[in-house]
Amino acid sequence: MTVSWPDFFAFLATACVTALAVIVLGALAFHLVGRYWSRGRTLRRSLRAPFRTFAVVLALYVAVTRTPYGTWDWWPTVQHTLRIGLVGACAWLVGALIIYAEDVSLRRHRTDVPDNLMARRVRTQVLLLRRLTVVAVAVVAVGVALFTFPDVRAVGASLLASAGVISVIVGIAAQSSLANVFAGMTIAFSDMLRIDDAVIVEEEWGWVEEITLTYVVVRLWDDRRLILPSTYFTQNPYQNWTRHASELLGAVELDVDWRVDTQAMRQALDRILADTDLWDGRVKVLQVTDALAGYVRVRVLVTARDAPTLFDLRCHVREQLIAWMQRHDEDGLPRQRTELVESNAHPYLLRRASGVGLFTGDPEAEDRAARAGGGGEHPEQRERGEQDADPERSEHPEDGRAGDDG
């Protein structure tokens, strides 16, 4: 028995007409939906290619399977190929529908607005769900396609019978990867970290750019990328500056002189903040927080709508306050003072000048002091020095004794 070509072409024509009718009706339905729904055009663009592919492959599969193939051995191969193609087209269509639904959810929550906490939470979860759903659809499609082979079905049954042993082996081998996967799911659905969060990790400041099942990408302030495993954020402490809100408070500290005019400085701060769009109008404080080492520490607190704006605002306030002090408050500029004090001579020098030695008392002690270089002198040396100092006494020693006797 050979292939009945008239029957084949009849089935093929019927299938093609049916597929064409389905495509036309689908296009008409998408067009009507687009007229009354703003996202209908996006839906039509997203599903046009997969829907048409699915309709054509389905038509060919119906035509081939309904046609008697007789003794042609390659005909079952054609049927099997179309069956696998139908599974792939169906997976493509389902995946396109899922991605479209996720895109609609992302468009409803914009992240380019000041209050974007909810939008960033939804974006983080939707992007992670997209990866999960696409992988799940692909795995299911590959599994269904493989199970169209009889030999694979037999292998699958044996694998199910030994699933316990295999699961243990795979779990041990992929322990690190599975830990990262579960950590990624924990990060996304516990709301501990979101896309565009301002964080400090590994002493680096940046924004969370991407969250996957196994790793997190942090875009640093200088456009470098820091890639960390998902388990890092579940096992290590880190700073999240935008955990509950994107608004932040920052500090600017200046060490100035004691003669600074803080009241005039507050007025200057008011003018600086009033002339910039970086300040969000919530907090402005100027306080003297410390006084040490000859300086007065002034701290300024300001707020901004997000982390990048806060950094720019802090730099702006610091620059403007320095310029204001240079022009209007030179007494407040930091300086060092040195005072010269005239003091008396050291007591040790006075003791040396008075002739008081270390050894005093009997002649032997005076002699030791003289030999040691101390302040004391030997009595004979002292008497000899006195005679040298009084020439009259040295020339008439008897006069001195006579006066004493009288």
pLDDT digits (tens, 9 = 90+) for 106-136: 777 666 566 666 777 777 778 888 888 888 8
**What is the spatial distance between Cα 210 and Cα 216, in angstroms, rounded to a whole number?**
6
**Angle of helix 175-189 versus helix 163-173 axis, rounded to 10:** 80
> Dihedral (C-alpha) 94, 99, 102, 104: value to the nearest 10 degrees?
-100
Query: Which pTM does this prediction carry?
Result: 0.56
pLDDT digits (tens, 9 = 90+) for 283-301: 999 999 998 888 999 999 9
Q: What pLDDT was estimated at residue 302? A: 95
The CATH class, in words, for 248-332 is alpha beta
pLDDT digits (tens, 9 = 90+) for 55-71: 888 877 877 777 666 55
Domain 189-240 falls in which CATH fold?
Answer: SH3 type barrels. (2.30.30)
278: helix, strand or coil:
coil
Classify residue 332 by its DSSP letter: G
Q: How many CB atoms sit inside 10 A of residue 340's CB?
A: 4
| Series of mean pLDDT values for 10-residue runs along the chain (406 residues) | 62 72 73 67 78 81 69 72 88 88 76 66 79 84 81 62 54 64 81 86 89 88 90 90 82 92 93 93 92 90 88 94 92 82 59 52 62 52 52 48 43
**What is the spatial distance between Cα 57 and Cα 80, in angstroms, rounded to a whole number?**
12
pLDDT digits (tens, 9 = 90+) for 355-377: 555 555 556 666 666 665 544 44
**What is the spatial distance between Cα 178 and Cα 174, in angstroms, rounded to a whole number?**
6
In 295-390, beta strands by DSSP E: 295-304
